[in-house]
Amino acid sequence: MIKSALLALFTVSFISGCATTTKDSISGVKRSQLLLMPASQITSMSSKTYLQTLNTAEKAHTLNIDQSQLERVRSISNNLIGQVSAFRPDAAQWKWEVNVEKSDQVNAYCMPGGKIMVLSGLIDKLHVTDDELGAVIGHEIAHALREHGRERMSQAYVQQFGLQAMALFFSKGTSALAGNATTQAANLGSKLFFALPNSREQETEADKIGLELSARAGYNPEAAITLWQKMNAQGEAKSPEFLSTHPANANRINELRALMPKVRPLYDATKMGAGR
């Protein structure tokens, strides 16, 4: 009886945890997502992990050592951040941070809550233009706007702890099972953010929203295509970590091309308004 009641409670929590995180826009992304883990908890975990990353890089003298590179990344990032309210107004109030770490890795990420990191290998090895860098960072910001990290953690949590443990967790139970589940969830932390790859569906959403975001910020959307072409040129053996488990292929580029007629007017309007 108790178990049935708990599972019923979890079912309600499950249903209420299914929602879309961003407003409908030109990109057409409006999929319902499983978001059981509290957003505040995910943001707290991510902030702690990001701070640890900054401290480690600072001790290794690899954090923000190239000021011109840092200023460039922050300028582009700030332009993109200025347009996030088109997808979710609350994101404009996030505590955004933007840093660059000296590394040979071709990588970039935006953690939940707006913690951006660009690794210098992305800039140095791909020789990215400002428009291409806008495409990369826009793609990563899109992951954060859609809360893909929170979604992956919620899915993993259900798989690891099961329905009964989740029911106890959401009922704020005080049993050993509930306490153990809560403790293990905290221990998982943001490790899941890096350990669990984005799904193909999440990558597609980030491609679409990132393309629209960069266009709204005044970066040529065509650069997204040249960026992925450069990524592909790295070769499968050197596939950038940025691509997760889904390298940019012909289908990905075709999807970007298909969306181009919709986002191009946004870029043109921004360009005309800025007199560029």
Residues with active-site annotation: 140
Question: For the stretch 30-51, what's the b/e string if a residue is b when 16 or more beta carbons lie within 10 angstroms of its beta carbon?
Answer: eeebbbbbeeeebbbbbbebbe
Give the orientation angle of helix 67-81 with respect to helix 130-145, to 10 degrees. 50
* Interior/surface letters 226-244, b for 16+ CB within 10 angstroms, e for the rest: bbbebbbebeeeebbebbb
Instruction: Looking at 60-199, list the stretches that DSSP marks H as alpha helix, in order from N- to C-terminal side.
Output: 67-81, 120-126, 130-145, 148-170, 176-188, 191-195
The neighbouring-strand residues paired with 159 are none
Instruction: Report how far residue 242's alpha carbon sits from residue 231's, in angstroms, rounded to the nearest whole number.
Output: 9
Structure tokens at 36: 């059981």
What's at 67, amino acid-wise?
Answer: Q
Query: How far apart are alpha carbons 97 and 271 in whole angstroms?
Result: 26
Tracing tokens 């009964």 back to the chain, one arrives at 164
Give CA separation, 211 vs 63, 101, 119, 157, in Å: 28, 24, 21, 31
* 3 state DSSP class of 134: helix
Measuring CA to CA, which residue among 190, 97, 186, 200 is closest to residue 149? Answer: 190
